[in-house]
Amino acid sequence: MRTEELLRRLAAHRDSNARLMARARTLSLEEVEGSTDPEVLRIRRMALAVRGEVCRMRGFIRLAPLGDRVLWGRISPHHDVGFEISDFFARRFPGKLIVLGDGRRSWTSLYSDGALLHQEGCGLAATLAEISGIMDLLAQGGEEEEGRQVSEEKGGKDKDETKVEPQHIGAEEGAGTAAADLWTVYYQSQDEPRKAGGRRYGGRISRRALRSAGLDAEKGSGSAKLQDFI
Amino acid sequence: MTTLEKMARLAAGGSFDSVGPASGRALDLAKVEALGRGTKYDLCTSSAARREREDDAASALRGGLCHSFTGSGRCVSLFKTLYTNACPQDCGYCPNASTSAKKRIFSYSPEEIARITLDLYQENRIEGLFLSSGIGRDENETMEEMIEAVRLLRTAHHFRGYVHLKILPGSSKEHVRQAMELSDRVSVNLEGPSAARMAELCPSKEYENDILARQRYIRDLSRDVALPAGQTTQMVVGAAGETDREIFDRMLIEYDVMNLKRVYFSAFTPLAGTAFADRERAPAWREHRLYQVDWLYRVYKLEREEITAAFDDLGYLPDGDPKVAIARASLEEPIDPNGASFAELIRVPGIGPKTARRILLRRKNGRIERMRDLAKLGVAPRRAGPFLQVGGKSATTLDRWGF
Regarding whether B361 and B305 lie in a shared domain, the answer is no
pLDDT at B103 over 50: yes
pLDDT at site B105: 94
Lowest mean pLDDT among A142-156, B187-201, B202-216: A142-156
pLDDT interval class at B73 (50, 70, 90): low
pLDDT at B243 over 60: yes
Regarding whether B184 and B246 lie in a shared domain, the answer is yes
CB contact under 8 A, B36 and A69: no
Query: Is B1 domain-assigned?
Result: no
CATH number of the domain residue B36 falls in = 3.20.20.70
Q: Is B70 exposed, middle or buried (0-12, 13-18, 19+ CB in 10 A)?
A: buried
Residue B206 · residue B176 · CB < 8 Å: no
Query: Is B4 domain-assigned?
Result: no
Query: Is B17 domain-assigned?
Result: no
Output the average pLDDT for chain B: 88
Regarding whether B107 and B67 lie in a shared domain, the answer is yes
For B127-144, write each residue's pLDDT tens digit: 899 999 999 999 999 999
Nearest to B15 among A95, A119, A188 (CB): A95
pLDDT at site A167: 42
pLDDT at site B396: 60
ipTM, 2 decimals? 0.83
Regarding whether B97 and B77 lie in a shared domain, the answer is yes
pLDDT at site B284: 86
Query: Is B71 domain-assigned?
Result: yes
The share of chain A scoring above pLDDT 90, in percent, equals 39
Q: Which residue of A has its CA nearest to B42?
A: A190
Regarding whether B354 and B244 lie in a shared domain, the answer is no
Which of B327, B361, B388 is the last residue in one of the domains?
A: B327
pLDDT interval class at A50 (50, 70, 90): very high
CB contact under 8 A, B14 and A112: yes
Contacts of A41 in chain B (CB under 8 A): 376
pLDDT at site B196: 95
CB contact under 8 A, A134 and B5: yes
Contacts of A35 in chain B (CB under 8 A): 362, 365
Which uninterrupted H or E stretch holds A64?
strand A64-66
Q: Is B331 on the interface with A (CB under 8 A)?
A: no
Q: B68 or A14: which carries more pLDDT confidence?
A: A14
Which uninterrupted H or E stretch holds B245?
helix B244-256
For A168-218, write each residue's pLDDT tens digit: 444 444 444 577 788 888 888 887 666 554 444 455 566 666 665 556 555
Which of B282, B303, B319 is the last residue in one of the domains?
A: B282
Query: Is B18 domain-assigned?
Result: no
pLDDT at site B118: 92
CB contact under 8 A, A189 and B124: no
To the nearest whole Å, the CA of A17 is away from the closest chain B CA by 23
CB contact under 8 A, B70 and A33: no
pLDDT at site A193: 65
Q: Please report the residues numbered 294 through 323 in chain B whose beta carbons come closer than 8 angstroms to any beta carbon of chain A.
A: none
Nearest to A65 among B22, B281, B360 (CB): B22
For B303-338, write each residue's pLDDT tens digit: 999 999 999 999 999 999 999 999 999 888 899 999
Query: Is B7 domain-assigned?
Result: no
Q: Is B125 on the interface with A (CB under 8 A)?
A: yes
Q: Which residue of B has its CA nearest to A96?
A: B11
Regarding whether B93 and B231 lie in a shared domain, the answer is yes
- pLDDT (mean) for B75-91: 91
Query: Is B357 domain-assigned?
Result: yes
pLDDT at B39 over 50: yes
CB contact burial A39-70 (16+ within 10 A = b; e otherwise): ebeebbebbebbbebbebbbbbbbbbbbbbbb
pLDDT at site B56: 60
Q: How many domains does chain B have?
A: 3
pLDDT at B342 over 60: yes
HSE of B330, CA atoms in CB hemisphere, 13 A: 21
Q: A121 or A177: which carries more pLDDT confidence?
A: A121
- pLDDT (mean) for A45-49: 94
pLDDT at B48 over 90: no
pLDDT at site B392: 76
Lowest mean pLDDT among B70-84, B86-100, B199-213: B70-84
Q: Please report the residues numbered 12 through 71 in chain A whose beta carbons come closer than 8 angstroms to any beta carbon of chain B.
A: 30, 33-36, 41, 55, 58-65, 68-71
Contacts of A108 in chain B (CB under 8 A): 4, 7
Domain ranges, residue B308: 283-327
Regarding whether B298 and B233 lie in a shared domain, the answer is no
CB contact under 8 A, A64 and B30: no
Regarding whether B276 and B135 lie in a shared domain, the answer is yes
pLDDT at B344 over 90: yes
To the nearest whole Å, the CA of A20 is away from the closest chain B CA by 19
pLDDT at A159 over 90: no
pLDDT at A2 over 60: yes
Query: Is B95 domain-assigned?
Result: yes
- pLDDT (mean) for B53-81: 70
Contacts of B27 in chain A (CB under 8 A): 178, 182
Q: Please report the residues numbered 345 through 364 in chain B whose beta carbons come closer than 8 angstroms to any beta carbon of chain A.
A: 357-364
pLDDT at A158 over 50: no
Regarding whether B346 and B302 lie in a shared domain, the answer is no
For B248-303, write each residue's pLDDT tens digit: 999 999 999 999 999 999 999 999 899 999 999 999 899 999 999 999 999 999 99
Regarding whether B252 and B153 lie in a shared domain, the answer is yes
CA distance B45 to B162: 10
Supply the Cα-derived Rg of chain B in whole angstroms. Answer: 24
CB contact under 8 A, B8 and A94: no
Q: Which residue of B has its CA nearest to A156?
A: B21
Q: What are residue B54's phi and psi, to 5 degrees?
A: -75, 110
Spatial neighbors of B360 by CB under 8 A, at least 6 apart, are: A34, B342, B345
Regarding whether B291 and B248 lie in a shared domain, the answer is no
Task: Give the global pTM.
Answer: 0.84
To the nearest whole Å, the CA of A168 is away from the closest chain B CA by 15
Q: Which residue of B has its CA nearest to A150?
A: B13
**Which long-range CB contacts under 8 A does B74-78 form with residues at least 24 apart?**
B74/A190, B74/A192, B74/A195, B75/A204, B75/B45, B76/A187, B76/A190, B76/B126, B77/B45, B77/B46, B77/B126, B77/B127, B77/B128, B78/B44, B78/B46, B78/B126, B78/B127, B78/B128, B78/B129, B78/B130, B78/B162, B78/B164
Regarding whether B365 and B300 lie in a shared domain, the answer is no
